[in-house]
Amino acid sequence: MTAAPAFHHLPVLGPRSVDLLDPRDGGLYVDGTVGGGGHTRLILERCDDCRVLAVDRDPEALEAAARNLEAFAPRVRFLSMRFDGVTDDPEVRDRGIEGALLDLGVSSHQIDVDARGFTFREGAPLDMRMTPEGETAADFLNDRSLDELQDVFRRYGEERRARALAREVVRRREERPFATSDDLVAAVMRVLGPRTEHQDKARIFQAVRIAINGELEALERALPALRDALTAGGVLVVIAYHSLEDRIVKHAFREWSRACICPPELPVCACRGVALGTVLTRKPERPSADEVESNPRARSALLRAWRKAA
């Protein structure tokens, strides 16, 4: 096991995210995945009198962010919750927000600390939970049905041999319960072959993580809730690291930016008849080569932004 490093947060596409949010004095902004506080710091440094609701479901992240943002304490309020719940906060309900940022996925700290179980390094526990409660990755692999396993490997891991992998998991757990990363890696290599590449293992581990944390469901709930909470001209920025996440964001932003969402066969418009806002990013923006070189985990980041109509 590796020793737990200090919680750090390199804000992926940080300056560009904040440029799009364009924080203004008097504004209230949501960092829905505060991590170590990197994006929140950039927002607060951009204006003298704006405030941020710093949200995270990971207690370690919130503790680290509070330390890292101590100098901005009067202008930050920390909320221990998943980002799809922030719009229930009384302040958000009463006054709205001028902008929101979601940096999806997991932080470098979560990956680097073996005990958190997000890695497939040798001997790491199969945990992968964002919070200390709930179903672990080991629970998922040991308890879910063959069909459920297949569905997760196919939908979230986009694995064409999902059925064979699910069968292999069921076969192995009958001999010995899954407990560590080695167990899942062995099942993957048995099905995909001994020369299975790093990214293939990562796909399967990521699929399990997405499933046990309900990540896509949370995103689907959060997007329209944050849209409705935005004040006129407010901006929503989302950084995704998985094709399924990015697809959800792309489709939502595209639909909100259309004046008519009626089925094409309907002769007369019967829907809202007006666009709710405008897409600010014609296509997903990616980190520069320099950023990827300094932070390799940024390489798969896809940024999209949308502005609510004034």
Distances in Å between the Cα of 223 and the Cα atoms of 7, 128, 218, 230, 263 are 27, 24, 9, 11, 22
All residues at 6 or more sequence positions from 259 whose CB lies less than 8 Å from its CB, including other chains: 272, 273, 274, 275
Is 110 annotated in a binding site? The answer is yes
Q: What are phi and psi of 55, to 5 degrees?
A: -115, 135
Q: Which long-range contacts (CB under 8 A, 24 or more apart) does 160-168 make?
A: 161/191, 161/192, 164/191, 165/191, 165/192, 165/204
Per-residue burial over 164-191, b if 16 or more Cβ lie within 10 Å, else e, is ebbbbbbebbeeeebbbbebbbebbebb
Is 56 annotated in a binding site? The answer is yes
Amino acid at 158: E
Distance of alpha carbon 308 from alpha carbon 224, whole angstroms? 12
3-class DSSP state for residue 86? helix
Per-residue burial over 243-271, b if 16 or more Cβ lie within 10 Å, else e, is ebbbebbbebbeebbeeeeeeeeeeeeee
Is 153 annotated in a binding site? The answer is no
Is 150 annotated in a binding site? The answer is no
Distance of alpha carbon 269 from alpha carbon 220, whole angstroms? 26
Is 103 annotated in a binding site? The answer is yes
Q: Which of 45, 39, 16 is nearest to 304 (CA)?
A: 16
Distances in Å between the Cα of 212 and the Cα atoms of 10, 126, 140, 161, 236 are 25, 11, 7, 21, 26
Is 206 annotated in a binding site? The answer is no
Known binding-site residues for S-adenosyl-L-methionine equal 37-39, 56, 83, 103, 110
Known binding-site residues equal 37-39, 56, 83, 103, 110
